[in-house]
Amino acid sequence: MVCGQVMGNHVAITVGGSNGHFELNVFKPLMANALLHSIRLLGDAAASFEKNCVKGIQANKERISKLLHESLMLVTSLNPVNSTQEGCSLKEAATTKLGVLTQEEFESLVVPEKMIGPSD
């Protein structure tokens, strides 16, 4: 609702700006009112969002780690290995079922933390 109102205010400001003649624009009060209304709405919405949604949120590090280490995005470092058909983890497929890597090799090649940012 806030976004809809702010978008409407933007249209009002645009129409007001386009209907002004030279430096005498009789729409300036409308434009100023719409701008101040949008500023107030956005500020109040941000404060409400922080109070009612963001405050108190804590990351579930165990769940994040589980999802990260079981994500199929890890397969990019193991192109030849495909564990989705076997119903096992990538690590299990590469080390146990296929035997193409040792556990140490897998752990040195598949480091999700290195995949989430630019490399040096």
Q: Where are the domains of the chain?
A: 1-56, 71-111
Q: How high is the pLDDT of residue 100?
A: 83
The predicted model scores a pTM of 0.51
Helices (H), the chain: 2-18, 28-49, 61-69, 90-92, 103-109, 112-115
Cα–Cα distance for residue pair 78/13, rounded to 1 Å: 54
What pLDDT tens digit does each residue of the chain (120 aa) get?
A: 999 999 999 999 999 988 877 777 889 999 999 999 999 999 999 999 999 999 999 999 999 988 888 887 776 665 554 555 667 777 887 788 778 889 899 888 888 788 777 766
> Which residues have C-beta within 8 Å of that of residue 30, sequence separation ≥ 6?
12, 13, 16
Report which of 43, 11, 42 is spatially closest to residue 27, judged by C-alpha positions: 11
Give the pLDDT confidence score for residue 89 in this predicted structure. Answer: 76
